[in-house]
Structure 1
Amino acid sequence: MPSRSDDHRPRPRATGRVTLDDVAREAGVSRITASRALRGQRSVDPSLARRVRDAAQRLGYVPDPAARALASARSSHVIVLVPLLSNTLFVDLLEAVQATLMPAGFQTLIGITHYDRDEEEQLLRSYMAHRPAGLLVTGFDRSEASRRLIAASGVPCVHLMETTDAAGVYSVGFSQTAAGRAITEHLLARRRQRIAFVAAQLDPRVMQRAEGYRQALRAAGLYDARRELLNPQCSSIALGAQLFEQLMAQQPDTDGVFFCNDDLAQGGLLAALRLGVKVPHKVAVAGFNDLPGSDQMWPPLTTVHTPRREIGAAAAGMLLALMRGEPVAKPCVDVGYSIVVRGST
């Protein structure tokens, strides 16, 4: 199709806003074809879709989300609720979600729950008014009112970071309990018998890791509740150093420590250096999540690698299928985890 000169391009309306009709005329297609192409629907021929996108880019077209929601009873927005953005784990996950959804014509509305059920409920009530196309939520721990909101909305929903076999529930994650058990078994294999569990935040996934720790030690006949150090404060390097010092003062014969998150473990390693506690000779140290910097600690930190980018991409892909009305072969996807063995154990 010959290109149009600037003099013959559609003029914007009095409002100054380029409309979908303008894009359709510029691309030489019907309005409904232009709409479907910009929403990323697969029913549109790829060459037509490319022509529509090129026309929209030339004209500087920006879709009106309110009009789209009214026309379709759904917007092009996907709500993503995560506990924090101060944790690299959730930043990695969000980047993968956005990289999957944007090419399909969907934008993300991010809500931060701060591990607070009431705050999550408020976010859901606010965001549901925008008629979202889909919903990604972290885990399964939420208020009954939030569960009812999600169920009554009819909005496709996928759960992140955990798995379930419950009928009609979609999830992408891994077993936090199994991962906690596996890293504790690794410490046991290193002939550690007085292993402590040090945790902060104490959200449901942390407590599932704690359960895995208990299972491994009970199976070995070595569980000692006095070696659990649980602190409700937010996880941080500074808190990890503080808790390691507290542990060494209270249980000086401890020969292994499983920190529930890598930032705590990083702080523990720094405190060990200050205290002259040799790692791993006197105390083996393990973390969880394989966060940036863990491989640069001294000694480098042994940890559980959690595939958060894979979780984000797989969950967003599953949600795309649900939003398009396509069948989902596996409603529960377990992406697994891996133990990364380094010098600290």
Structure 2
Amino acid sequence: MTKKRSSNRPTIADVAERAGVSAITVSRALREPQKVSSELRRAIDGAVSELNYVPDLNARALASSRTDVVAVLVPSLTQHIFSDVVRGIYDGLEDSGLRIELANTRYSAELEEQLVFGIMRHRPAAVIISGTEQTARTRKMLEAAKCPVVQIMDLTDDPIQKIIGFSHERAGLEMTRHLIEAGYRRIAFFAGWMNARSLQRHGGYRQAMEEAGLYDPDLLGQRSNDNPEFSRGSRQDFHQFSSTVMGRELMLEMLERRPDIDAVFCNNDVLSLGALFACQAKGVAVPQQVGIAGFNDFDFMAAAEPPLTSIRIHRWRCGFEAMKAVQGQLNGEPVGEPVVDLGFEIIKRASTDRNGEVAAAAQEAPPLALS
């Protein structure tokens, strides 16, 4: 007679007996299904289904020093930026036997610290965490973690273990240079609020403007980081602090205060769309009077009229590559290159086409073949 625990819950030994294999083989098949044959996997899956067996994750963690959980910490679950990243992470799972647990840090280093503390108690298989702005305590916990740790969506010369992302400062620099090369001179910078990434992008903007002798601090449009609603912890409602409505308001204010501006570089795409609406409401021609550029290159940028210039970042690929790096390390591969720069692209569209270069290139392109 098969032995069961006092709770009458089936054990891994029960599954092994039903499938006609060893308990070690069952454990391997459940933890890493890709490492057993499809025939064995079918037999074990059938036994699991018949017995209604549910693995004891706590026992597994004690036995293996880790769970099969990859903890993923991102600052928002509502922004397309991070939903695309998370989609890439899930697409990278394949049949690894790993599972994802998401945590929303809400742009708070303090909350991130609390979440990491809780995560470390459960012995994760790996940690994927957005950014480099961890507190000293968070970094110390992650450095001591006996598992792969991959930072994403940023770059640093001093990653915890490995980082996959791009330079926000370099992106800000190159976009501003594009605007200057297009003939714009009084270029504003719009930000909903100045978080770490915004500051880096503004740093690149400022460097390009200073190089050209054009920098003017009066051309910064933003909302105060001391907004009382924000300080009360409304970070889950981040769209309130970076929205199309805000972009429209910032542009209307800038046109009132500095009617001489001839371009605006927006910290993200929703702000740039709002800036376009403001120009249209005021009869300001884009790109002839004011050029507009954004950051992230969401699909609505190409659909706007005129289409809006933006910086394309590789969100899905960042998540996918992070998951692949985790799997590689868990399979015994070395960490490899600690800093992986995925780069970015300046997508030039009509909203900054003051010299007609984009239009000319479009005319020279061969016509699409129709079948």
Indicate the SS of the match to 2:134: coil
Number of paired residues? Answer: 336
CA distance 1:215–1:44, shift in 2 (3 Å):
same
Specify which of 117, 123, 126 is matched with residue 118 of structure 2: 126
- Return 144-153 or 80-89, whichever deviates more: 144-153
Alignment of 1:1-345 (within 5 A): 15=7, 17-40=9-32, 43-45=35-37, 48-49=40-41, 51-53=43-45, 55-56=47-48, 60-101=52-93, 103-166=95-158, 169-231=161-223, 232=225, 234-345=241-352
CA distance 1:282–1:12, shift in 2 (3 Å):
farther
Indicate the SS of the match to 1:86: coil
Where does structure 2 lack aligned partners over 5 or more consecutive residues?
228-240, 353-371
CA distance 1:192–1:73, shift in 2 (3 Å):
same
Q: Which amino acid aligns with 1:310?
A: R
Deviation at 1:316, TM superposition (A): 1.0
Deviation at 1:170, TM superposition (A): 0.3
Q: Which amino acid aligns with 2:85?
A: L
- Return 17-26 or 111-120, whichever deviates more: 17-26
Q: Distance in 1 between matches of 2:49 and 2:166?
A: 40
Q: Match of 1:3?
A: none
| Kept in 1: contact 2:162–2:335 (CA 8 A) | no
TM-score, structure 1 as length reference = 0.90
Indicate the SS of the match to 2:350: coil
Q: Distance in 1 between matches of 2:343 and 2:56?
A: 40
CA distance 1:245–1:19, shift in 2 (3 Å):
farther
CA distance 1:107–1:152, shift in 2 (3 Å):
same
| Kept in 1: contact 2:34–2:95 (CA 8 A) | no
Deviation at 1:329, TM superposition (A): 2.6
Q: Distance in 2 between matches of 1:292 and 1:55?
A: 47
Offset from partner CA, 1:56-94 (integer Å, 9 cap, x none)? 456554332222112212111111111111210000101
Offset from partner CA, 1:258-277 (integer Å, 9 cap, x none)? 00001111111122222222
Deviation at 1:300, TM superposition (A): 1.5
Where does structure 1 lack aligned partners over 5 or more consecutive residues?
1-9
Deviation at 1:163, TM superposition (A): 2.0
CA distance 1:277–1:11, shift in 2 (3 Å):
farther
| CA RMSD of superposed structures (Å) | 2.3
Deviation at 1:101, TM superposition (A): 2.6
Deviation at 1:189, TM superposition (A): 1.7
Where do 4+ consecutive residues of structure 1 move more than 6 Å?
A: 10-14
TM-score, structure 2 as length reference = 0.84
Q: Which amino acid aligns with 1:265?
A: S
Among the aligned pairs, what percent are the same residue? Answer: 39
Q: Distance in 1 between matches of 2:283 and 2:346?
A: 27
Q: Which amino acid aligns with 2:274?
A: G
Q: Distance in 2 between matches of 1:303 and 1:25?
A: 60
Deviation at 1:166, TM superposition (A): 2.7
Q: Match of 2:364?
A: none
CA distance 1:327–1:251, shift in 2 (3 Å):
same
Deviation at 1:51, TM superposition (A): 4.8
Q: Distance in 2 between matches of 1:120 and 1:167?
A: 17
Q: Which amino acid aligns with 1:112?
A: N
